[in-house]
Chains A and B, each alone.
Chain A
Amino acid sequence: MSLLAAIRKLWHSVVPRSHGDVEEEFRSTLDAYQEDLVRQGLSEEEARRKARIDLGQPTAQNETYRAAIGLRLFDELGGDIHYGLRALRRNPGFAAVAVLSLALGIGATTAMFSLIYAVLLHPFPYAGADRIMNAHVIDAQHPDQFSWFTLSEAELDDLRLAAPVDSALGFNNSHLEITGGALPEDIWGIYVTENAGAFFGVRPLLGRNIEPSDADNGGHSVVVLNYRFWRSYFGGDPHVIGRTLDIDHAPYTIIGVMPRSFAFSDTTGVGDVYLPASLMRAVANVPAPSYLPWIKLRPQVTVAAANAALEPILREIKKQHSGVSAWHLGLQPIIVPYEETGRTLTLLLAGVVLLLIIGCANCSILLLARGRTRQHELAIRSAIGASRWRIVRQLLVEAVVISCTGAVLGVAASYWLARLPLLLSPDSFPAESFIRINTSILVFSVALALLCGILFGLVPALRLSRRDSAHMLPGRQIGVVAAPAKHRWSVLIATQVALTLLLMATAGTAIRSFLQLMQMPLGYDPSNVMKIGISLHVHDPGEWGRLQTREARTAYIEQIREKIASIPGVSTVAVSLYATPPDADVQSSFIVDGSGDGEPPQARVMLVGQRYFAALRIPLLHGRIWNTDENTRGDFIAVVNRAFATRYLSSSNALNRQLRIPGLTSKNHYQVASSQSTAWRQIIGVVGDARNDGVDRPVVPAIYLPYTAVMQPYAQFLVRTQGDPLTYLHSIRAAIASVASDQQISTSGFNRTFTLNEAIERDAQYSRQRLFSILFSVFSAMALALALVGIFSVVAYSVAQRTTEFGVRLALGAPRAHVLWVAARIALVSAAAGIVTGLASDSFLGAVLAHWMQSAFAAVSLFAAAALLALGALLACLLPACHAIAVPPAEALRYE
């Protein structure tokens, strides 16, 4: 058929001739034929009769017409759908349970799919995002320890020339302050090298990106805004381009606003504003800025090849800094930190697919159970000529009507369901990912709905449309007829129960491992401790002038510390720089006395005040903590943790050994190091291990030094209070203001205020495991409910059908217990079979799951789940079965 003809056919099928038109034409033919017959000598009445016999009834003609032009299938399907909807309306209880069973499954599956779509398939808005790499240096001796490294501008240029590199971006995060308003406001700024616009390839929402020309003349004072910052600070003002923003007492012209999906950077935190890197030297007075690199590889370059090609270049660069040799380069696609989340999501997707299968099985069971009451109707249809295919089709259409209704509800629900994991575990997902319902997700859910409809509709449809059901026609099953074996029910129920058990056991395992994580000793006490950050006003010449020296700065910080400590209810206040558990400060190389010339080992260097250990309740194992005088001096002493002592000082007594940190110098003019900061330090104490590499990872060796060794332009206070620390926030603000009225406490960036319990909750592994336990508990609760509803409805339907039989049994003297057993037998046996199958397959699947979940099924959780399921199944069987014996025999006999 040509295209034109196809279009014409489509046109005719959309706008067919009207009913009246077809009938009128046919009537005119009928009349003409009739007149001819009269002319041939038939009587008027005979002619009329013969015409109708030969040509047919005018009223039926329209049907012939629609069948001829190929509309019949549509008409019949329309009729089936209409009939299906009517059947659902007639049985609201059945409809609600069936639709809800599917809506749960489809909603959860769609939500999970859209999450996976957002997180794994399209997480970043950047051009060639899959080729963008984070660069790590991996310690050759401890490959699990890797660290970021920074590069200077010249080194970055060297890197850009390398063969596998398409382009490289350098960025540096900085704590900035918006000035010019009534109160200074802290923001998080990211200086990016001026190739940023081309590197990201993201079209700005307003204005333009940072471009290479912005580097001219020492850098233009321009700023690009992050979407959220633009919304919160400028209220989403569309005319913001060209206005000025005062940052650190200097005016900046706003040149662009990035779209919502752009939330650079995942590595170090999302910036509020983006600035040209050249400004670092010119305005921020950093003589030799260093950048974290993002490297975009050329297409078709493998990570391994790039590592091999770039490592010599990097080695050359690094040689100039120190004699480091035992490391290698580890490029990592920027998605990798979230792959763990991806694995979690895949497992969750498997969970929801199980839920969906259980929902489908439930619908099948319901349809089968209800089908028994419909056999009469179907037998009539079959008897008056409906083909088996026609009946199967009608039953399938009814199933699809149910599944589509379920899908509509499910997709609506998925909109909220998909946000749940993001709420429960925000830091496990790329900042850029936000959930949209898009075409591919909609196609996915529609396909899913149709598949489900066919999946759960097919078994009952084939079963109910069997020709032999025609023998049901003469009369309904009246009297005592032993129910035929219901193999399909049994199989479906057993499958459902086994799958539910699988889900429940997974949930149990997830909860167990989460509980284990929660009970894991932290080595410190996070309860009632809050961290408060302050930044010194480095760009306020008057104030900054006063705080230039180490002594002045120490005095200033200690003064604030004492003020906070004097607030009633505050028990301990300690100063720390970045050392906020469960994470800690940067990795640095150190040298222990008596060690060879080999590669200097690395440890976390934590700059803290002497009260840090008391505030966090980290126990002192040997020796002592430094005192106030030593704290002010900052030199010659150090405290290490147990991990450090075990790994590096195992051969002798840790105390009185000496160590030295060559890199402990001031890196820019905001920092002031003590005169002997890199000199030998005596180890005066060993403290217990407190988590410093995340909640779930082993404690890494750490060196604690007085924070005055290298003073930063910021500080953090760890405040232990009696009761909820956040309730003290107001008095703490007042205490700080009493020292310096314009000293703000940080509210954004990583320095912002929160409690240490919150810090644990934000830990990726912790929140992931919590997400896992919560979601799997919800899934298994849903699955349990569905399975029990399935069992319940089977027993209830069969009891309703066999009321007469039970009446006769009771009347003939059968014990009630026996009748109860007969009523519940099939469902109970299939549930038991399901539990046994579930237990058997779970122990097999346990090995598979261990790979994914890092912990196998524990027998405890498996048997607890099985017991709970068995109890539920028993109740679901007995409740409707009791109905069978509750009916008085005489009434039961009258039932039909």
Chain B
Amino acid sequence: MTKPVELPQGTLEMLILKAVSLGPLHGYGILLRIQQISGERLEILQGSFYTAIYRLESRGWIKGEWSVSENNRRARFYSLTAAGTRQLKAETAKWIDMAAVVAGILGKKADEI
């Protein structure tokens, strides 16, 4: 197991949107998928996880529906709404932009300036 990474403020919501965009998932499923994609490097604070889900739902970016899970249990499955798709796209673009800029600055050497 590699070194765990701490999430900057506000990025959890983006990751949840991404996880849900790959297909409807229930709450625990989202948690598992994020950990799985990140290669188990993300330690998500459990307390803030549901707060993020509730907030996304109340903003109308994801919507939840009761259904039956893979092991025959009732669970609430979340899927991305149209607004959520737009939001994810915008956030992703913003993040990549920002990361590129920050990485660019940090990557500069003294003689390059």
Give me the interface of A with B, judged by CB distance under 8 Å: 4-5, 8-9, 12-13, 24-26, 28-29, 31-33, 35, 54-56, 61, 64-65, 67-70
Q: How far is the CA of A8 from the CA of B84 in the complex (A)?
A: 13
Q: A25-B27, A33-B28 are in contact. Are A5 and B55 (CB under 8 A)?
A: no
Least CB separation from A65: chain B residue: B54
Q: Does B47 contact A68, Cβ atoms closer than 8 Å?
A: no
Q: Are B27 and A29 in contact (CB under 8 A)?
A: yes
Q: What are the residues of chain A within 8 A of B64 when measuring CB–CB? A: 25
Known: A29-B75, A55-B46. 7 other contacts (CB 8 A): A25-B26, A28-B75, A29-B50, A35-B71, A56-B46, A64-B51, A64-B54
Cα distance, A13 to B26, chains bound together (Å): 23
Q: Is B89 an interface residue (CB 8 A)?
A: no
Which residue of B50, B69, B83 contacts A61 across the interface (Cβ within 8 Å)? B50
Which residues of B, 42-76, contact A by the 8 Å Cβ criterion? 46-47, 50-52, 54-55, 58-60, 64, 69, 71, 73-76
Given known pairs A5-B83, A64-B51, the reply for A28 and B74 (CB within 8 Å) is yes
Q: Which residues of A contact B28 (CB under 8 A)?
A: 28-29, 32-33
B70 CB to closest chain A CB (Å) equals 10
Measured in the bound complex, the distance between the Cα atoms of B69 and A29 in whole Å is 11
Tell me which of A5, A28, A54, A70 contacts B26 (CB under 8 A).
A28
Chain A residues positioned under 8 Å from B83 (CB to CB): 4-5
A-B contacts, 28 listed (Cβ < 8 Å): A4-B60, A5-B59, A5-B83, A8-B59, A12-B58, A13-B58, A25-B27, A25-B75, A28-B69, A28-B74, A28-B75, A29-B26, A29-B31, A29-B50, A32-B75, A33-B28, A54-B46, A55-B46, A55-B50, A56-B46, A56-B47, A64-B50, A64-B51, A68-B51, A68-B52, A68-B54, A69-B54, A69-B58
Given that A29-B26, A29-B28 are known contacts, is A5 also in contact with B76, CB under 8 Å in the complex? Answer: no
Please measure, in the bound complex, the distance between the C-alpha atom of A80 and the C-alpha atom of B90, giving whole angstroms. Answer: 41
Q: How far is the CA of A799 from the CA of B74 in the complex (A)?
A: 65
Q: Which residues of B are found within 8 Å of A35, using beta-carbon distances? A: 71
Q: Which of B26, B60, B69 has the most CB of A within 10 A?
A: B60
Chain A residues with Cβ under 8 A from B31's Cβ? 29
Interface residue SS majority, chain A: helix
- Which residues from chain A contact B59 at a C-beta distance below 8 Å? 5, 8-9
CA distance A33 to B69 in the complex (A): 14
A494 CB to closest chain B CB (Å) equals 52
The 10 closest A-B pairs by CB, nearest first: A68-B54, A69-B58, A32-B28, A29-B28, A25-B76, A68-B51, A8-B60, A29-B27, A12-B58, A54-B46
Bound together, the chains give a CA A55 to CA B74 distance in angstroms of 19
What's the dominant secondary structure at chain B's contact region? Answer: helix
Contacts of A26 in B (CB 8 A): 27, 50
Minimum CB distance partner of A53 in chain B: B46
B46 touches A31 (CB 8 A): no
Q: Which residue of the partner chain B has the closest CB to A35? A: B71
Q: In the complex, which residues of chain B have a beta carbon less than 8 angstroms from the beta carbon of A65?
A: 50, 54
Q: How far is the CA of A28 from the CA of B73 in the complex (A)?
A: 8
CB distance from A324 to the nearest CB of B (A): 82
Interfacial residues, chain B to chain A (CB-CB below 8 A): 26-28, 31, 46-47, 50-52, 54-55, 58-60, 64, 69, 71, 73-76, 83
Contact of A68 with B55 in the complex, beta carbons under 8 Å: yes
Q: State in angstroms the CA–CA spacing of A12 and B59 once bound together.
A: 9
Q: How many A-B contacts are there with CB distance less than 8 Å?
A: 66
Complex-state Cα separation, A24 to B50, whole angstroms: 13
Complexed CA–CA distance, A69 and B54 (Å): 7
* Contact in complex: B73, A31 (CB < 8 Å): yes
Min C-beta distance of A462 to chain B, whole Å: 33
Q: Which residues of B contact A70 (CB under 8 A)?
A: 58
Contacts of B73 in A (CB 8 A): 28, 31-32
In angstroms, Cα B71 to Cα A70, docked, is 34
CB distance from B42 to the nearest CB of A (A): 15
* Separation of A313 and B65 alpha carbons in the complex (Å): 85
Residues of A within 8 A of B75 (CB): 25, 28-29, 32
CA distance A36 to B87 in the complex (A): 32
**Contact in complex: A9, B58 (CB < 8 Å):** yes
Q: How far is the CB of B17 from chain A (nearest CB, A)?
A: 15
Report the separation of the CA atoms of residues A413 and B27 in the bound assembly, to the nearest whole angstrom: 57
Task: Determine the distance from Cα of A31 to Cα of B55 in the docked complex, in whole angstroms.
Answer: 23
- Expressed in whole angstroms, the Cα–Cα distance for A4 and B59 within the complex equals 10
User: In whole angstroms, what is the CA distance A647 to B83 when docked?
Assistant: 92
Smallest Cβ-Cβ distance to A70: which chain B residue: B58
Closest-CB distance, A56 to chain B (whole angstroms): 6
Bound-state CA distance A61–B49 (Å) is 12
- In the complex, the answer to whether A69 meets B60 with C-beta atoms within 8 Å is no
CA A548 to CA B71, docked complex, whole Å: 116
A69 CA to B50 CA, complexed, in Å: 11
- Please name the residue on chain B nearest to A12 by beta carbon: B58
User: Which among A8, A29, A65, A69 has the greatest number of chain B C-beta atoms within 10 A?
Assistant: A29
> Closest Cβ of chain B: how far from A270's Cβ, in Å?
61
CA distance in complex: A12, B83 (Å) = 16
- Bound state CA distance, A739 and B26, in angstroms? 105
B55 touches A28 (CB 8 A): no
Write out the residue numbers on chain B whose beta carbons fall within 8 Å of the beta carbon of A56.
Answer: 46-47
B50 proximity list for chain A (CB < 8 A)? 26, 29, 55, 61, 64-65, 68
Tell me the minimal C-beta distance from A58 to chain B in angstroms: 11
* Chain A residues near B46 (CB-CB < 8 A): 54-56
Q: Which residue of B lies closest to A13 (CB)?
A: B58
Most A CB contacts (10 A, CB to CB) among B27, B51, B69 go to B27
Closest chain-B Cβ to A145's Cβ sits at a distance in Å of: 76
A69-B55 contact in complex given A5-B60, A5-B83, C-beta closer than 8 Å: yes
User: A70 CA to B51 CA in the complex, in Å?
Assistant: 11
Residues of B within 8 A of A13 (CB): 58
User: In the complex, which residue of chain B has the Cβ closest to the Cβ of A71?
Assistant: B58
Do A68 and B58 touch across chains, with their CB atoms under 8 A apart?
Answer: yes
Shortest C-beta distance, B4 to chain A (Å), equals 15
What is the chain B residue whose CB lies nearest that of A8?
Answer: B60
Q: Which residues of B contact A54 (CB under 8 A)?
A: 46
Q: Which residue of chain A is the closest to B29 with respect to CB atoms?
A: A32
Q: Which residues of A contact B55 (CB under 8 A)?
A: 68-69
Q: In the assembled complex, how far is the CB of residue B62 from the closest CB belonging to chain A, in whole angstroms?
A: 12
Which residues of the partner chain B approach A25 to less than 8 Å between Cβ atoms?
Answer: 26-27, 64, 75-76
Q: Which residues of B contact A69 (CB under 8 A)?
A: 54-55, 58
CA–CA, A9 to B27, complex, Å? 21
Q: How near does chain A come to B28, taking the closest CB pair, in angstroms?
A: 4
Q: How far is the CB of B44 from chain A (nearest CB, A)?
A: 10
Alpha-carbon distance between A29 and B54 when the two chains are bound, in angstroms? 14
CB neighbours (8 Å) of B69 from chain A are 28, 32
Residues of B within 8 A of A29 (CB): 26-28, 31, 50, 75
Report chain B residues within 8 Å CB of A5: 59-60, 83
Q: Which residues of B lie under 8 Å from residue A12 when comparing CB positions? A: 58
What's the least CB distance linking B74 to chain A, in Å? Answer: 6
Q: In the complex, what distance in Å separates the CA atom of A196 from the CA atom of B25?
A: 77
Residues in chain A near residue B47, CB distance under 8 A: 55-56, 64
A residues near B74, Cβ cutoff 8 Å: 24, 28
A35 to B32, CA, bound (A): 13
Question: How far in angstroms is the closest Cβ of chain A from B51?
Answer: 4
Q: Which residues of A contact B27 (CB under 8 A)?
A: 25-26, 28-29
Q: Is the CB of B76 within 8 A of A28?
A: yes
Q: Which residues of B lie under 8 Å from residue A4 when comparing CB positions?
A: 60, 83
CB closest residue in chain B, given A9: B58
Complex contacts, B76 vs chain A, CB 8 Å: 25, 28
Cβ of A68: which chain B residues have Cβ within 8 Å of it? Answer: 50-52, 54-55, 58
Query: Which residue in chain A gives the minimum CB-CB distance to B54?
Result: A68
Q: With A and B bound together, what is the CA distance between A24 and B66 in angstroms? A: 10
A232–B46 alpha-carbon span in the complex (Å): 78
Residues of A within 8 A of B54 (CB): 64-65, 68-69
Q: Does the CB pair B26–A67 fall under 8 Å?
A: no
In the complex, what distance in Å separates the CA atom of A25 from the CA atom of B74? 9
User: CA separation between A833 and B58, bound complex, in Å?
Assistant: 59
